[in-house]
């Protein structure tokens, strides 16, 4: 039990939940919520070290099927200062990636209007406001609860409704509804879908969940695989300190897994920088590579290729060699 001990939330590293967000949103569009974009390809890292603002991390950035980016921010308050911050984020992201960016700000219940445009003369910044307060969270919660109790499959809209549920208009607090949503997700029979839902809920609700509910969330998630990967319960200075840390290592696979995932991201970033949007499918294949030694060799070989076809050959050869070793 963690009762009575310190439990804290950190926003320093969200790497571990990116894989859940990618799987959760992949090939989906958010048109149901009025966000009209091409389907999502994957979640992107959002740290922006070159800008000087209080929080240097965007909430979520998704690469879209047309090569542009969707920048999502989740807000429980509305202010011009926040819009100014999002503008800085987008400028920095564009300077880094040189791709079009669409920004949607998803406002929780209680906010019915918010500024969407900043006009600085020759510089104009446009966002889209999405108001979750117009959705009846209580009714949607009951519907989802009924579906999982009958072991019905959750469709795309059901899944998106579940992860956005805490931001909708509810008769209970956002934090309590976040707990309720995770409880529903735990009842999903499909293991992969269950993990993606829980991981995505953590990523989206971590920003606004009240400290008093952190411990409850920890208890709800105890013994789930997502918790083992995202959470770190350790012993420090003689007392148990449960820290919710979105970090890639996880308890079981530790630092090695973190370095492996980081190396995969290095390869994907290199392919993206060298071959752009055409390398999307090849970047997905990088996920099949395991082992730091294999990843190191692949990255070194990629430095010497001059075409996407040759890069594909390097990665496919590594995958085949890896498969042969596995069966020896």
Q: Provide mean pLDDT across the span 210-235.
A: 58
pLDDT at position 326 is: 62
Q: Provide mean pLDDT across the span 81-102.
A: 90
Highest-pLDDT range among 7-11, 215-219, 272-276: 272-276
The percent of residues above 90 in pLDDT, for the chain, comes to: 25
pLDDT at position 274 is: 82
Q: Provide mean pLDDT across the span 73-94.
A: 88
35-39, 143-147, 235-239: least confidently modelled range: 235-239
Q: Provide mean pLDDT across the span 214-223.
A: 64
142 pLDDT band (50/70/90 cuts)? very high
Cβ contacts of residue 278 below 8 Å, gap of 6+? Answer: 308
170 pLDDT band (50/70/90 cuts)? very high
121 pLDDT band (50/70/90 cuts)? very high
Dist CA 249 CA 253 (whole Å): 6
pLDDT at position 242 is: 37
The conformation of residue 133, written as its DSSP 8-state character, comes to G
Residue 249 has pLDDT above 60, yes or no: no
Burial of 189 (0-12, 13-18, 19+ CB in 10 A): exposed
122-126, 153-157, 191-195: least confidently modelled range: 191-195
135 pLDDT band (50/70/90 cuts)? very high
pTM of the model: 0.60
Cβ contacts of residue 248 below 8 Å, gap of 6+? Answer: 13, 15, 16, 257, 258, 261, 262
- For residue 39, CA distances in Å to 16, 27, 30, 99 come to 22, 5, 8, 16
Q: Where are the domains of the chain?
A: 1-16+135-252, 34-132, 254-327
Highest-pLDDT range among 126-135, 200-209, 251-260: 126-135
User: According to DSSP H, which parts of the chain are helical?
Assistant: 15-25, 80-97, 137-149, 156-164, 174-186, 191-205, 211-221, 225-230, 254-275, 280-285, 292-302, 308-327
Work out whether strand 60-64 and strand 40-44 pair parallel, antiparallel, or are unpaired.
Answer: antiparallel
Residue 49 has pLDDT above 60, yes or no: no
Q: Provide mean pLDDT across the span 296-323.
A: 87
89-93, 114-118, 248-252: least confidently modelled range: 248-252
Average model confidence (pLDDT) for the chain? 76
Determine whether domain 34-132 maps to CATH 3.40.1350.
yes
pLDDT at position 226 is: 57
Residue 221 has pLDDT above 80, yes or no: no
């Amino acid at each position: 039990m963690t009762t009575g001990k310190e439990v804290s939330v950190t926003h320093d590293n969200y790497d571990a939940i990116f894989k859940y967000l990618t799987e959760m949103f992949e090939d989906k569009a958010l048109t149901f919520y009025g966000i009209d974009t091409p389907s999502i390809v994957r979640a992107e890292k959002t740290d922006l070290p070159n800008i000087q603002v209080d929080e240097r991390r965007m909430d979520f950035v998704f690469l879209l099927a047309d090569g542009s980016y969707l920048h999502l921010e989740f807000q429980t308050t509305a202010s011009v200062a926040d819009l100014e911050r999002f503008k800085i984020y987008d400028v920095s992201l564009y300077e880094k990636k040189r791709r079009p960016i669409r920004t949607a700000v998803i406002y929780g219940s209680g906010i019915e209007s918010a500024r969407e445009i900043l006009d600085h003369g020759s510089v104009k910044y446009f966002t889209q406001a999405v108001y979750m307060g117009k959705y009846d969270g209580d009714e949607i919660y009951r519907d989802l609860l009924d579906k999982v109790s009958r072991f019905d499959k959750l469709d795309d809209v059901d899944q998106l409704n579940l992860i956005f549920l805490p931001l909708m208009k509810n008769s209970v607090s956002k934090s309590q509804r976040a707990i309720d949503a995770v409880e529903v997700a735990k009842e999903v029979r499909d293991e992969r879908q269950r993990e993606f839902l829980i991981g995505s809920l953590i990523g989206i609700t971590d920003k606004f969940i009240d400290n008093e509910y952190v411990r409850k969330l920890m208890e709800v998630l105890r013994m789930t695989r997502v918790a083992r990967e995202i959470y770190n319960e350790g012993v420090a200075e003689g007392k148990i300190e449960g820290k919710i840390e979105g970090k890639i290592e996880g308890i079981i696979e530790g630092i090695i897994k973190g370095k492996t995932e980081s190396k995969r991201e290095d390869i994907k970033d290199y392919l993206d920088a060298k071959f752009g949007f055409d390398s999307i499918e090849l970047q997905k294949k990088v996920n099949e590579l395991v082992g730091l030694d294999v990843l190191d060799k692949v990255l070194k070989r990629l430095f010497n290729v001059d075409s996407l076809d040759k890069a594909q050959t390097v990665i496919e050869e590594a995958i085949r060699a890896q498969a042969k070793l596995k069966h020896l």
